[in-house]
Amino acid sequence: MANTLAIRPANITSLSLKIFPASTTRINTKADTNSSPATLPERKIFLFGKIIDDLYSTQFLPITIEKSDDLYIASDDIFGVYGDGDTEGEALEDYRISLLDYYQLVEIQAYKDDQNQALFHHLKLYISHSTK
């Protein structure tokens, strides 16, 4: 099973999630002046509450937002899901759609074997699928 899943959605819906900034912004730099130049700052935020449709985060989900060339990337270190876009907002929208797709894929696969069941159980520690 791959460690990272990237799903490119065909459509994007409106953003409706709570974003909590983390306490620090980190800048990656190279100590050697002959090395490549410093990268742009990366920012940590936390998502909580409604993510998309009927998918909710049940605890703070840490997200890293970075800029690579002209593209923003929103990603998590827990599930290996990411989204990208021309702006931070577009990257977050793409991320949450990818997270929904990932949740649905893992949910379908959960009944096939113990490893997938364990993965789905871990996912449900952070994400809830509401039927309201």
Hey, where are the domains in the chain? 18-24+38-129
Distance CA(39)–CA(123), nearest Å, equals 31
Q: Say yes or no to pLDDT of 123 above 70.
A: yes
Question: pLDDT by residue (tens digit) across 54-93?
Answer: 889 999 999 999 998 889 999 999 999 999 999 999 999 9
**Kind and range of the H or E element at 121?**
helix 114-124
How much is the pTM? 0.68
Burial of residue 94, with CB atoms counted within 10 A of its CB: 0-12 exposed, 13-18 middle, 19 or more buried: buried
Banded pLDDT at 52 (limits 50, 70, 90): confident
